[in-house]
Amino acid sequence: MTPRSIIITAAVMQATVQDRGRSGYAHLGVGGSGAVDLRQYQLANRLVGNADGAPAIEYLAVGPPLVFEARGNLSMATAGATGGVTINERSYWSHQEIAVADGSRVRIDASMSGMYRYIAFRGGLAAAQTLGSVSTDLLSGLGEAPLTPGRRLPIGQDQRHYRPVDTVPLAAPREIVRLQITPGPRDDWFESLKPLLDHPYIVSERSNRIGLRLVGPPLKRCVGGELPSEGISAGAIQVPPDGLPIVFLADHPVTGGYPVAAVVEEGDLGFAAQARIGHLVSFVL
């Protein structure tokens, strides 16, 4: 029996294989990586009944569609950025389980809201692990290579770990993405955090899986000189010399030499990752 798989026929500029990431290696200079929106990644897997942590595709859903062909009968679901799915010219919506017949052509369209979309297959993607994870790390180059046309991805054993889910209610997109923060550890290097709290920031086109770059009122330093490099976590709001904050996401560096003014609560990082270019972001204590 031929193993089940998908073959990529058209890939966007950023389509990668992701799981929950690789933890425990920061002291060796290796970041966590993993799905940039863990909540939606987990939802896609739950929709097809996968165990938590099953590898899935993460796709930057603001450009050309991701297209692949099915080899064998598959079950799939998408979550995260909302948008259509077309299978052999028949249209489906996101956030539901979809049966895909052998030989079908599947097109994952660009999103209507959000940035990152997850495509999970029952059984998960069968990919090789590096340091305990298959995740593509765009900063270090570890993990599976970004997806390109002609790439074949095997699908794991077809089994269901959870009961089927019929309906997933979707929240309306937020006009302003509000992120909860905790000040520090270097908030005393700045005159005040009021600019961060009093004014919304605009998401820059330079944002990616490494960090959300923001445009707005700069934070002014009150401490001069250089800061020795120190550890950086996901959610850290680092402030370079121009004063414009960067919210670090999944592929963030493990150390940094610019002061961190505050840290975004872990549960809000998915909302930060899904903020589109030009959208507004505000911070609350």
Answer whether residue 160 is part of any domain.
Answer: no
Answer whether residue 224 is part of any domain.
Answer: yes
* Average pLDDT per consecutive 10 residues, the chain (285 residues; last block may be shorter): 88 90 90 95 94 94 93 96 94 93 96 93 94 92 93 90 76 86 97 96 96 97 91 96 97 95 97 95 97
* Shared-domain flag, residues 182 and 249: yes
Q: Which residue, of 154, 185, 204, is where some domain finishes? A: 154
* Shared-domain flag, residues 30 and 121: yes
> What is the residue range of 198's domain?
176-284
Please provide the DSSP assignment of 226-285 as one string.
-PPPEE--TTEEE--TT---EEE-TT--SEESS-EEEEE-GGGHHHHHTPPTT-EEEEE-
114: left (phi over 0), alpha (psi -120 to 50) or beta: left
Answer whether residue 167 is part of any domain.
Answer: no
Q: What is the pLDDT of residue 28?
A: 86
Reduce the DSSP state of residue 68 to 3 states and report it. Answer: strand
Q: Which residue, of 154, 186, 213, is where some domain finishes? A: 154
* Shared-domain flag, residues 62 and 99: yes
Q: What is the pLDDT of residue 169?
A: 77
Answer whether residue 166 is part of any domain.
Answer: no
C-alpha–C-alpha distance, residues 113 and 125, integer Å: 26
Structural domain tally of the chain? 2
Answer whether residue 185 is part of any domain.
Answer: yes
* Shared-domain flag, residues 68 and 137: yes
Q: Which residue, of 107, 124, 154, is where some domain finishes? A: 154
* Shared-domain flag, residues 91 and 122: yes
Burial (Cβ within 10 Å: 0-12, 13-18, ≥19) of residue 148: exposed
CATH of the domain at 262: 2.40.100.10
Global confidence as pTM: 0.94
* Shared-domain flag, residues 114 and 199: no
* Shared-domain flag, residues 95 and 211: no
* Shared-domain flag, residues 141 and 195: no
Q: What is the pLDDT of residue 180?
A: 98
* Shared-domain flag, residues 125 and 226: no
Q: What is the pLDDT of residue 1?
A: 55
